[in-house]
Amino acid sequence: MGRPSQGNTAPVHERRRILTNSTQYYFTRLLSLYLLSLLLAACTKPGAYIPVNDLRAVGTISGRITWTGDFPSAQIDRVYRDSGLCGEDVPIDEIVISDESRGIEGVIVSLENITRGKPLPSPGSLVIENRGCRFLPPVFVAIVDATLQIQNLDPVMHYTHARLDTRFGPTVWNIIQQAGAEGRSKLLDTPGLLDIRCDLHPNMKAFIRVLDHPYFDQTSFEGHFELRNVPPGSYTLNAWHPRFGTRSTPVSVPETGGPVTVDMSVQPR
Measure the CA–CA gap between 62 and 231, rounded to whole angstroms: 14
Residue 222 lies in a domain: yes
Query: What are the pLDDT digits (tens) for 130-142?
Result: 998 889 999 999 9
Say whether the peptide bond before residue 268 is cis (omega within 30 degrees of 0).
Answer: no
- Same-domain status, 106 and 138: no
Query: What are the pLDDT digits (tens) for 115-124?
Result: 999 999 999 9
- Same-domain status, 153 and 223: no
- Same-domain status, 93 and 164: no
Region of 210 on the Ramachandran plot (φ > 0 left; ψ -120 to 50 alpha; else beta):
beta
Tell me if 135 sits within 8 A of 204, measured CB to CB: yes
CATH code of the domain containing 144? 2.60.40.420
Residue 1 lies in a domain: no
| pLDDT of res. 16 | 55
- Same-domain status, 91 and 198: no
- Cα of 159 vs its chain's centroid, Å: 21
Residue 164 lies in a domain: yes
Query: What are the pLDDT digits (tens) for 45-89?
Result: 445 899 998 888 899 999 999 999 888 887 788 788 888 888 888
- Same-domain status, 92 and 225: yes
Report the percent of the chain where pLDDT is more than 90: 65
- Give CA torsion, residues 127, 219, 233, 212, to 10 deg: 10
Q: Which one is predicted more confidently, 207 or 95? A: 207
Band of residue 20 on the pLDDT scale cut at 50, 70, 90: low
Q: Which one is predicted more confidently, 102 or 90? A: 102
Domain count within the chain: 2
Measure the CA–CA gap between 103 and 96, rounded to whole angstroms: 8
Q: Within 10 A of 163 (CB to CB), how many other CB atoms are there?
A: 18
| pLDDT of res. 205 | 93
| pLDDT of res. 45 | 46
Residue 66 lies in a domain: yes
Element of type H or E holding 235? strand 233-241
- Same-domain status, 159 and 269: no
| pLDDT of res. 76 | 81
Domain endpoint, select from 209, 224, 247: 209
Band of residue 107 on the pLDDT scale cut at 50, 70, 90: very high
Q: Is the pLDDT of residue 164 over 90?
A: yes
Q: Which one is predicted more confidently, 219 or 268? A: 219
CATH code of the domain containing 107? 2.60.40.10
- Same-domain status, 228 and 203: no
Domain endpoint, select from 209, 230, 248: 209
The answer to whether the pTM exceeds 0.75 is yes
| pLDDT of res. 130 | 94
Reference 124, options 173, 215, 187, 183; nearest CA is 187
Domain endpoint, select from 209, 238, 258: 209
Query: What are the pLDDT digits (tens) for 201-213?
Result: 988 999 999 999 9
Average pLDDT of the chain to the nearest whole number? 85
Residue 249 lies in domain: 54-120+213-269
- Same-domain status, 81 and 106: yes
Query: What are the pLDDT digits (tens) for 224-264?
Result: 999 999 999 999 999 999 999 999 999 999 999 999 999 99
β-strand pairing of 134-136 with 139-143 = unpaired
Measure the CA–CA gap between 209 and 216, rounded to whole angstroms: 10
Tell me if 268 sits within 8 A of 70, measured CB to CB: yes
Residue 33 lies in a domain: no
